[in-house]
Each structure stands twice: as structure tokens, then as C-alpha cells.
Amino acid sequence: MNYSELIHTYFERSVALQWYWTIYIIVIGGVLGFSTFRQRPELVTTALITILYGCFAYKNWSAIEATAQEREAILSAVKKYPDSTGSAEDHAIVRVRSMLEPKLDAYDIAGARNFHIVCDLLTVAFLWAKEWRRRNPETVAETATA
């Protein structure tokens, strides 16, 4: 694999990673929207949504983690790519490397995992808080009079 293919693959993995995060945010928005607009309390529905969301979140995180690890392996290969041998193409690679490689940062997988977990817990807490609110007539009456 030459240098340009490595760079291309690195950015392909970066785009894939961004798409996994985009899908994650869209699903959270859908789950929260569905929960917000439901009128009647339904424990079974809330439990089912929680389980399905948990399965989605687990698989989404697995995909994010795998893609991030692939991206990190490619970044390592980019940084270990051999220096020039004297050809004109190698001189172009040296110029590109000097500008590009300092900007290619390592992905904080642990930070991304922690962020994912916090968002997952907040989403589930919101689902159940809305369910509790639908079940508690005093809360609904207080909200209606305010």
C-alpha cells in the first residue's frame, strides 16, 4: 500500500466513524421524540424500547470502537511509512507529510466510550422519567395548571 492509499483509507475510516455517530444521534432523537409524544402510560412499550435501544447502543458502540481501532492502525502505518528514496514522488510525499501528519490526531477511544455510556444512561433515564410522569397524575396536573 502506498502513502496516498493509506491516507485515503484513513479518511474513509474517519468518515465511517462520523456516520456511526450521526446514526447514533438520530436514533436518540427518535427515541426521545417517540417517548415525548406518547400520551398513555405503557410499561411494556417503555421496557421494549429500553431493551431495543440498549441492543442498538451496544452494537453501535461496537462498530464505533472497531472503526476507531482500524483508523488508529492506519494512522500508525501512515506515521511509520518509510521516508523518501529520492524520486520526485517521494519529495511530494515529504511535503504532504510535513503538513498533514501533525494534524492527524489519535482518536480518544476511552473518551468516546465514556461519552457513549453517559448518553445511553441519560436516554434511558429520560425514557423512564417520561413513563413515570405519564403514570403520576399529580405531576401531570401540576404541569397543566402551571
Q: What is the chain's mean pLDDT, rounded?
A: 89
- pLDDT band at 67, cuts 50/70/90? very high
Burial 65-83 (b: 16+ CB within 10 A, else e): bebbebbeebbeebeeeee
- Residue range 45-55: average pLDDT? 96
Share of the chain above pLDDT 70, in %: 88
Residue, of 58 and 79, whose pLDDT is higher: 58
Segment 72-89 shows an average pLDDT of 80
Q: What pLDDT is stored for residue 85 in this prediction?
A: 60
Give the per-residue pLDDT at 76. Answer: 92
What is the CA angle 57-104-94, rounded to 5?
150
Q: Are 107 and 14 in contact (CB under 8 A)?
A: no
| Confidence grade of residue 96 (pLDDT, cut at 50, 70, 90) | confident
- Burial class of residue 64 in the structure, from the number of CB atoms within 10 Å of its CB (0-12 exposed, 13-18 middle, 19+ buried): buried
